[in-house]
Structure 1
Amino acid sequence: MAKDKKNPIAKGLVWIILLLLIVGLAGFGATNFGGSTRVVATVGDTEIDVDRYARALQNELRRLEQQTGRRIPMSEARQAGINTIVLQRLIATAALEDEAAALGLSVGDAEVARSVQDMAAFQGIDGSFDREAYRFALQNAGLSIAEFEEQLRGETSRAILQGALVAGIAPPDTFVDTLYDYAREQRDLTLVRFTEDDLDGELAEPTDADLQAYYDANPDAFTLPERKAVTYAWLSPEMMTDTVDVPEDDVRALYDARSDDYDRPERRLVERLVFPNEEAAQTAADAIEAGDTTFDALVEERGLSLSDIDLGDVAQSDLSTAAAEAVFALDDPGIAGPAQSSLGPALYRVNAILSAQQTPFEDVREELRVEAAIAAARRATENQLDPAEDLLAGGATLEDLAAETEFELGKTVWAADEAGEDDGAIDAYTAFRDLAASTEPGDFPELAELADGGLVALRVDEVLAPELQPLDAVRDQVVEGWRAQALRDALTTQAEAALEDLQSGTAVSELAGTVSTETEITRDAFLEDTPDALVTEAFALEEGAATVLTGDAAALLVRVDAITVPSGVSDEAQAIKEGVRTAAGQGIAADITSAFTASIETQKGISINQAAVNAVMSQFQ
């Protein structure tokens, strides 16, 4: 009976912890840190050893690598604070484990044994517990059986404490109903849009004083951001194409390697309908020939769709001997068979005949030569990597590198989120921009590989402070900005005048502008070509109220025609409310757990061994 009364939340947490623990076992491995650095942190009487921290850090890095699709170096992880986040997470866990121990919460050997035997990672092919797999997995993880089971016992006790802490949490009905009503409330709107076409007259041309005033009022729009004056040495495969020789034999070999592309046999678009026996297949063929039925009708009678029987385009070699002879004996599209297939006797419908295609070597020689030259140029560029690194390591400047190798020297001014002065040549490479962003004056030039196989090294000569450009240099931008502002102001004035008319009793249809309506709008709605604040403003208005919103090149008069409050009694509404109740309960539980954990961390005290932390992270370099 006691087993049946276990807290379901605690039980769920236990299984989540067990799964995460098994993933961790495949992570860091049996690294030996040794010495006096066995403990990275202590919370109360509970220690977090280096292996536990290392496994948690490794698992977090793997999770991030799966999300990003690339390797995350420890230097990048440290810069993002990943190591600190992992340690704080372990400290919170240790605090709960220590509190569970202080309260005397524990599980017996029988429960630990059952949990271990239920773990899929420790089961054999027949689904039963495999002791050798258990021992092998722990050995690879650098854990003894006693250490693992003690850790499992502690984490299970912690899960019981967490489950007891949040057990029975259920938001009251009033809270759930309020959230539901807020989320499902709807508005019906009338929109009157004013654009440049609706202006009473033409916009005036700006005077010099207008432009000066706009320029003075918007200095940020005309200020160059912080930039870096960069000298770079660049080598691309394209630069190397003239230095490589592509023998005719190599081009011919590339052609031969792609013979399937250049020498395609006759192919046919075929569908296959299989029958239970030869007699049924022949009867169907006779009925089609007599006009009593069609191939499509037979497919439908069998409860199939055309996609179920489609073989696509096939060559003779793709079919059995009997089927190939029947299908390729047709001179025009039609029905072939019955013929034996791997699934039994079948009828084949040929929908199209694709003639054989043969592309002579001479027709693609130049195309293949260019491709081979690019591949050779990539290899030649790659071969320049080590000599270039040796030169830079020996103290050579970028100018020396360009003088002694095939690298080309260049200069640009780099700024984040802006194209460089060379209009996007070297500046178009993400690797170059990342390198420029992370390099400061005086840094040692390092080679970086570009997406096309090229190489680049750079030097930051100077950091240029933000600079307000002279009015004459940005006059066109100022004119454009002034005109856009003047248009917005004029349209807003016209829309506000229309709002006054509307409030005075003028019908919407008599207003200037383009009228439209939107019905059953919810708070999460998106209305295309409207100001971002439209929905928010609409839900702040009472029924019958109206306001004016300004967009980039339009003004919008918005009136709330109707407010619909959800009834909340339908089956759909009740299902949504239960989802709201569950989500809100989980949020409350997380907040309670977080507050409780922070409190016991303060009470118990935290001690961090930075030397041990550094020792773990050094293993990831």
Structure 2
Amino acid sequence: MISFFRRIFSSKLGLFLTLCFVGLIAIAFATADVSSSGTFGGVTGSGTAAKVGDSKLTSAELSQSVTNAFRGEQRENTGLDLKTYVNGGGFDDVLERLINSFAIADFGTKYGMAAGKRLVDSEIASIPTFQGADGQFSEENFRRAMQQQGISEAQLRNDFTRNLMADQLLTAAGFGAAVPQKLVVPYASLLLESREGQIATIPSVAFIENVKPAKAAVEAFYAKNASRYTIPERRTIRYALFEKSRFNDKIKPSEKEIAGYYSLNKSRYSASETRNLKQVIVPTEAAAQALAAKITGGTSIEQAAQSVGLSAAEVGSTNKTDFINMASQSVANAAFSARSGAVAGPAQSALGWHIVMVKDIKPIPGRTLEQVRTEIVSELTRTKIEEAMAELTVRLEDEFADGATLGDIAKAEQLKVEATPPLLANGQNPNDQNYKPIPEMQRLLPIAFAVDAESDPQVVEIIPGQQYAVVDVSEITEAAPPPLAQIEQLVTRDYMLDQGSKKAKTVADKIAKAVSSGTSLSKAVADAGVKLPNPERISSTRAELARQSQQGQVPAPLSLMFSMAQGTAKALAAPRDQGWFVVVLDKLNRGDASKRDDLLQSTRAQFKQVLGNEYTAQFINAMKADIGVERNETTLTALKKQLLGGN
């Protein structure tokens, strides 16, 4: 029960996030290749899977959304294949999320709500993928990412608009949900509940006969359980790395460029000065004049500022240009025309009227071209290399788009092409457990597993502005079980465990029945007719169970004990046919949280989120009912079959 709550409470608006943010950037609108008839026009790139208000969810968008969601799950669970994902409800989940997202946006539009262009722009600019090395939005990175994902700017903006509309509508849907005290106390008391019991283990190996099973039986077991041994999709990746350093010995600025740079930046190298300043800013000119007179009369700037409830701020050592940016042109003119030790101002900026004390002046002599030659050469070289690197990546992308191969580019640019063995999405080689991919592969793998078999090679940025790679997928090995001959020893072991597990179940059921009839667990185990481990005593609280659940470490027998009635026994299968458990609940100690204000408040807050999420879900259902949702079941069925590999 508690683990259920924990999963729901993982975010403040867990339901909102689940329903609306369906892979904001990852949704690529690719063309599907299935044909079917129906009232919407068939499963094609322009076919409609569902009508939501005035909007249409295309079969292409749904297909690519399902594929992207599957890829995301597969990165966490490398054993997952597309068929299992779709049959496990992945297709229906993505469909429902997209329909909800479209419905919320259409409902908001219908009743006069909008997400303005500036708001969408700011959201796009805040995405790290679209930012350059300086942390600012990069048009080049934006276009490259869009091209890699295969989506247009209009599609991306529509995505953001829908989700921003959802943010406006759903945030307040569950706000202020009230929770009755009579509902809170019983559930809070559950956390204080403790239980005591016993566990008996009936291992499968205790029933395995020391006889090699018949080959036909092993083959039949393998055919029935082939999915257990399925190796996920693997991809053979060809890549070529290149770095900015490849231009180090090729690019040198000319004398004309050096002289031109010096001339263009002459003010930077001419004689100048820095001044150490301290200032006070007051709101009116009259107050500033009075304060300046007080300082001129002999009062220190600190004391003068304190006398009017202000403080003097240290500006520190600065040049005039920087001080202009910090204050204003008029304030800087005043500060840099006063002598050392003098008071400048009042002068006005957007912040108010400045009184500036010039503490000291440090002159900086001018520098000749020869004196700054090394500095200029370094700066020009860096800039030219960055430009050359950018030009190279753009040129490679253009050549790939025109049909060039990785081999063509590698030969022309003198790049070394490397190839990996067939790898899983996480970089592992299922045929070699000791294989370790290069560190750069962690950046290349998501790209390699996102493209289609017929896609052009991709230019991937590994270290921004420093290192890149050209990536191509040369072979895709679909998820499939290996031939039985390769894993016959493993399958034979699993078959024998399976047979032993069936016998262990019979004994476990017999023991559980005997205990439920009044026999002690230890006696029932002793009477089983086979040598078994002695039973173990266990005890825990629901609070401890919740902590373990949060960490994903709850033993299945312990979890079962907290769902049983006192004095009962139940049999439970161990994972992977390892055997069976018999769990007995001897004693249940109920808790009382009526006087635990901390626990009551925590439980009330959690229930408030549950009720808030329920209100949000009902609000979404009401929006869908208001604008209308029509699903094209013919198209959806055909699309699901396509994803499963059918016609």
What TM-score does the superposition give when structure 2 sets the normalisation length?
0.44
What TM-score does the superposition give when structure 1 sets the normalisation length?
0.46
